Amino acid sequence: MLYSTVITAIVSIGLALSYLIISRKAHRSGIVVLLYHRLCPQAEWELLTGAERNFCCPVERFEEHLRFMLADGYRFLSLTELHLWLDNPPARSEKLAVLTFDDGSSSVYEHAVNITEALSIPAAVFITSDPDAWVHEHQPRLTAAQILELTNRGFDIGAHGVSHHGLNEMPEPKLRWELDACRQTLEGIIDAPVIDLAIPLGFYTTHVLERAAEHGYRLVFTSKPGRVQHDTHPNEIPRFTIEGQMTSNELQRLLSPLGIVARKLIASIKRLPPALLGENRWMPLRQQLFESRLGPYLHSRALLRMLGTMTAICFLLLTWLIARAF
What are the pLDDT digits (tens) for 85-143?
999 888 778 999 999 999 999 999 999 999 999 999 999 999 999 999 998 887 899 99
Q: Averaging pLDDT over each range in 5-9, 19-23, 97-101, which range is the top one?
A: 97-101
Q: How far apart are CA 3 and CA 55, in angstroms?
A: 50
Return the closest-CA partner of residue 100 out of 202, 243, 198: 198
The whole model's pTM is what?
0.85
pLDDT at 7: 45
Q: What is the DSSP letter of 31?
A: E
Q: What is the DSSP letter of 32?
A: E
Helix (H, G, I), strand (E, B), or coil: what is residue 101?
Answer: strand
Selected residue with higher pLDDT from 52 and 116: 116
Return the closest-CA partner of residue 90 out of 29, 23, 33: 29
CA angle, corner 101, sides to 188 and 271, nearest 5?
115
CATH number attached to the domain at 26-249: 3.20.20.370
| pLDDT (tens digit per residue) in 277-310 | 988 888 888 877 777 776 665 566 555 555 566 6
Residue type, 71: A
Domain-by-domain residue ranges, the chain? 26-249
Return the closest-CA partner of residue 98 out of 122, 125, 115: 122
